[in-house]
Amino acid sequence: MHVTVVVWGFTAILGRLISLSALTLVWYRLVVVVATMGGVVAYRGLGFAVSRRLLLRFGLVGALVAMHWVLFYGTIKHSGVAVAVLCLSTGTFFTALIEPLVFRRAVTAGELLIGLLVMVGVGLLVKLEAGADTLGLLMGMGSSLFAAAFGTINGKLARGSRGELMTLYELGSAALVTSLFFLWRPGDFVVPSALSLTDVGLLLALAIGCTVLPWLWSLRVLQTLSPYTLALAVSLETVYAMTLAWFIFPGVEQLTGRFYAGAAVLLALVATNTWLKRPRAASTAGS
């Protein structure tokens, strides 16, 4: 799980380095991933057939993934890496709301309270310390909401489906949805021949190293752990991405000391929630 989160920490950095717009970046990322996964499924002889019901569910998840990635990289381009990944840490709150609906369990007051505190704290930090405008905040929070939604649904689908097929059809659906956005913003599209060699290399690293492998790993994790537990771990992506951004983009991504202190407090809340959940997790394992 934590290896997956560490790798995901590089996705924001690569998104900042790639010169393409958020929409074009996401589209090329998905095209490479779908082509790669199609080859993996064929090579392993898994077969491409899935039921119509599963296909519809994969399609829904793919649409949510497309919205998450477009908003996430849109936030990076508009407000910077720190704002994007800090907003992503509010996923614990959204997951605490969505997971009980999907898994049909009671809402836990503790999860909601800590998630709400994180969300309020993130909003204040992003607005007051990072200086992000309302659009950047809304895009970042929207990205987190869609990530929590598809992560929770995958928590249920992963326990009865092959990870390779899930990845292929979910991200294939995401590619189709992202393609539709070009009807709204046709000027964003960049033909393959116009891509720089640097962008091509970074896109391949983003698509294969930071998407195909960790996506499959995350689906395997969700066969055992709950979506909320994974959402808590993903909060550490904020630490990795902000640390990398501080060194890679000096003078651009370096914020005030109060910002980093506030971010540390928010992440401490997430860690506290993890600690409080330990007895319940141990009890469940024992039973």
Quick one: pLDDT at residue 30?
Answer: 96
Tokens 């995350």 found at: 218
Using CB atoms within 10 Å of the CB of residue 194, give its burial: 0 to 12 exposed, 13 to 18 middle, 19+ buried: exposed
Quick one: pLDDT at residue 121?
Answer: 75
Residue 266 token pair:
């928010």
pLDDT in tens, 51-73: 899 999 999 999 999 999 999 99
Compute the Cα dihedral for 57, 61, 63, 64 and give only its sign. Answer: positive
pTM (whole model) above 0.95: no
Q: How far apart are CA 259 and CA 129, in angstroms?
A: 6
Q: Letter for the amino acid at 34?
A: V
Quick one: pLDDT at residue 76?
Answer: 92
Quick one: pLDDT at residue 125?
Answer: 72
Quick one: pLDDT at residue 252?
Answer: 67
> Which segments in the chain show pLDDT lower than 70?
128-131, 235, 251-256, 266-267, 270-271, 273-287
Range of the domain at 194: 2-286
Q: How far apart are CA 219 and CA 158, in angstroms?
A: 6
Q: With beta carbons less than 8 A apart as the criterion, state whether 71 and 143 touch.
A: yes
Domain count, the chain: 1
The SS3 call for residue 44 is: coil
Residue 86 token pair:
């800090």
What is the DSSP code (8-state) at residue 192? G
Quick one: pLDDT at residue 283?
Answer: 45
Rg from Cα positions in the chain: 19
Q: How far apart are CA 45 and CA 14, in angstroms?
A: 33
Tokens 């891509």 found at: 195
Q: How far apart are CA 122 and CA 215, in angstroms?
A: 26
Quick one: pLDDT at residue 173?
Answer: 96
Q: What is the per-residue DSSP string for 128-139?
A: IIS---HHHHHH
Quick one: pLDDT at residue 97?
Answer: 84
